[in-house]
Structure 1
């Protein structure tokens, strides 16, 4: 019988206890001390039919000694024996992970065998979305395509950008505060000397209802894409609308799936979140952004509900719905969708009644996410310090990779740097560098480095 147990030692460690108990012939008390002797076999005559060299327990004791533990043996001759040991285990997250087998199955089912279908280093696109998380996901999805991706968070900034640069494709979110996507598109089309006249403009929407395509085409969009954005559909959309001369097709190879193991977080389907975000690393970045603005966004929603400003209320609740879907928070997304519909009517009484529960769930979910985001903050024991010279050298290598559009090697260098303790005063730069790497933000990286 195998038994596993544990006991908390402090905030960062626990004692694990493992024991194996049998109902065999047992060991005489005077023979127990001989178990650790190499090549020693107890009751050789009685056990002559059992193969072995007598090294097993000797090796076990040596291994346990290296881990600061020892093997304990209790036995009753004729009844059986129990072998046990305890080891200290560092803990970075106290939430239960649930069923390992089930989580692994989900992770493998949702792991995408991804290989970018094209490269387009000379093409440039603009993405307009008031939800920063959506921008981060799209940048992350497209970093391996080598596309130049500009992002802005509102229609006014979009109008400034399109007067300064020529784009090959423009993605515009429909629901944005102030100037929505449809108004931004109409204003862009009316700009004098518009350098982006005729450029394909794709609507981004979380409301994929019947007739949506026809409505967006009638408003002047070229096509539309639903959110959360699917990486394969995004790439296919770009292949459909990028100039053929800018696209370099990539041989259809498959990358091995990323076996993602994340802790269970109440209210979040982590497997769906990783599928939506593209990787566990990017999910962490997105979840961080989700939590960072919780109180500000919740207060804004409360204020608009109180003021009965249902236009802005609906825009913010729509953005919350989109963000919740992105991180796999189905219940929060569902409640937000209901209140978005109520705000659109508007139904003042239902909005006033339902908003507090929505925001309570929103704040609660952010609270449950924060420990997951903070779990890597304690430095693992035994992490080797990195000198300033080593740090600067690694940063220079990352910059050379980014200049050469080699994000794979740059990402690997950053992962290796993460195994060391960063020099004092360099932590913020390293965290920003890691964030921009995973988001595929080449311009921000080069400015930082």
Structure 2
């Protein structure tokens, strides 16, 4: 076990072994975990709003997606609860949803604090990077502009992976953070608009 694996094995509510089984490698597992962590508050709010607005179709779609992402990081209890809510949503079983949605959202949001120290340390280490040159940055933007229209997921992922090894200027960091948010949700048109900014 390397240092990352040891630290991850200490996170409550995550099975590193299950995660590695689904993701195939520690690197992919960590990518899924970071994406999962970054999306918690937005996703939880979307699920909550969909429930309160009685938009059970959206509610069901979102808990289905969460069921899968929770399973990918080995969050078994969360994944199982999402599955039960998804089934309830599909059969319009509102009494079950009413009785369980609050505890489910509370469990989901608890992963912010469960993962906080691990993610903070990981990002602190990642923050010690060499600054990117103007030319390198322009090359990365041009490459993204080239691959986004064809919706080439792997190519975008590779470019973002390369960019993550550099220290970006503040403005570009914000732009890339927004771009990544759209990327995680596969919002291709919004991704292209971000690159025009």
For Structure 1 versus Structure 2, the TM-score category normalised by the shorter chain is 0.5 to 0.7
What is the SS of the residue equivalent to 1:426? helix
- Structure number with greater Rg is 1
Contact (CA 8 Å) 2:127, 2:167: kept in 1 or not? no
Shift of 1:426: 1.6
Contact (CA 8 Å) 1:310, 1:346: kept in 2 or not? no
| 1:338 counterpart residue number | 84
| 2:15 counterpart residue number | 269
CA 1:324 to 1:388, structure 2 compared with 1: closer, same or farther past 3 Å? same
Equivalent residues in 2 for 1:118-197 (5 A)?
Answer: none
Higher helix share: 2
Equivalent residues in 2 for 1:218-237 (5 A)?
Answer: none
Give me the CA root mean square deviation.
4.7
- TM-score computed with the length of structure 2 as normaliser: 0.59
Per-residue displacement from partner, 1:172-221 (whole Å, max 9, x unpaired)? xxxxxxxxxxxxxxxxxxxxxxxxxxxxxxxxxxxxxxxxxxxxxxxxxx
Higher strand share: 1
CA 1:386 to 1:267, structure 2 compared with 1: closer, same or farther past 3 Å? same
Contact (CA 8 Å) 1:401, 1:409: kept in 2 or not? no
Alignment: residue pair count:
186
Contact (CA 8 Å) 2:130, 2:167: kept in 1 or not? yes
1:297 to 43, 46, 59: 46
Shift of 1:372: 4.1
Shift of 1:331: 0.7
CA 1:443 to 1:391, structure 2 compared with 1: closer, same or farther past 3 Å? same
> Using the alignment, how far apart are the partners of 1:310 and 1:287 within structure 2?
22
- Is 1:386 matched up with 2:132? yes
Shift of 1:274: 5.2
Per-residue displacement from partner, 1:386-431 (whole Å, max 9, x unpaired)? 34344224544x35874997x66982x6544433321232212344
CA 1:387 to 1:363, structure 2 compared with 1: closer, same or farther past 3 Å? same
- Is 1:429 matched up with 2:178? no
Higher RCO, 1 or 2 (CA under 8 Å, sep at least 6)? 2
